[in-house]
C-alpha cells in the first residue's frame, strides 16, 4: 500500500492527515468533539473554522502536541482575516516586528 504524503499548511490538512493515519471516518472524529461528520469535512476543506476549545480534546485524542494544532489554527485565522487585504504583507511585517520586541 502506498503511503499518502500530506502537506499540512492548514489545520484542516493536519486533521485529515491524523484521521487518515488512524483510518477514521469524519463522523468518528466529529463524535470526539460533539460535532457531525459534515462539519469535520468542512474543517478539513478549510470551509469552516474549528472552535479553539476543541484543540485540547483533539490533541489528546490524536496524541499530538496541542501547540502544533494551535499554531495551525492561528495561522488559518490570520490568513482568513488578511487574505483579501491589499496591505496584508506590510501589516504582517509590522505585527512580526511588534512580536519580536515583546
Distance in angstroms (rounded) separating the CA atoms of residues 16 and 3: 14
Distance CA 17, CA 37 (A): 16
pLDDT category of residue 3 using cuts at 50, 70 and 90:
very low
What are the tens digits of pLDDT across the range 55-101? 999 999 999 999 999 999 999 999 999 999 999 999 999 999 999 99
Write out the E strands in 1-102.
none
Domains and CATH numbers, the chain: 11-101 (1.10.260.40)
Closest CA to 54 of 46, 7, 62: 62
Give me the pLDDT at residue 2, please: 43
b/e 50-68 (16+ beta carbons within 10 angstroms → b) = beeebbeebbeebeeeeee
Per-residue model confidence (pLDDT) at position 52: 96
Length of the chain, in residues: 102
Across the chain, what does the average pLDDT equal?
A: 92
Closest CA to 70 of 6, 11, 18, 21: 11
Amino acid at each position: 500500500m502506498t503511503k499518502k504524503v500530506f502537506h499540512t499548511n492548514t489545520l484542516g490538512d493536519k486533521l485529515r492527515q491524523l484521521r487518515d493515519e488512524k483510518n477514521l471516518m469524519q463522523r468518528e472524529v466529529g463524535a470526539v468533539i460533539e460535532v457531525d461528520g459534515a462539519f469535520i469535512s468542512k474543517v478539513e476543506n478549510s470551509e469552516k473554522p474549528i472552535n479553539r476549545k476543541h484543540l485540547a480534546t483533539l490533541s489528546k485524542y490524536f496524541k499530538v502536541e496541542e501547540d502544533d494544532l494551535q499554531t495551525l489554527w492561528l495561522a488559518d485565522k490570520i490568513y482568513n482575516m488578511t487574505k483579501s487585504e491589499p496591505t496584508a504583507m506590510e501589516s504582517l511585517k509590522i505585527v512580526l516586528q511588534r512580536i519580536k520586541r515583546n
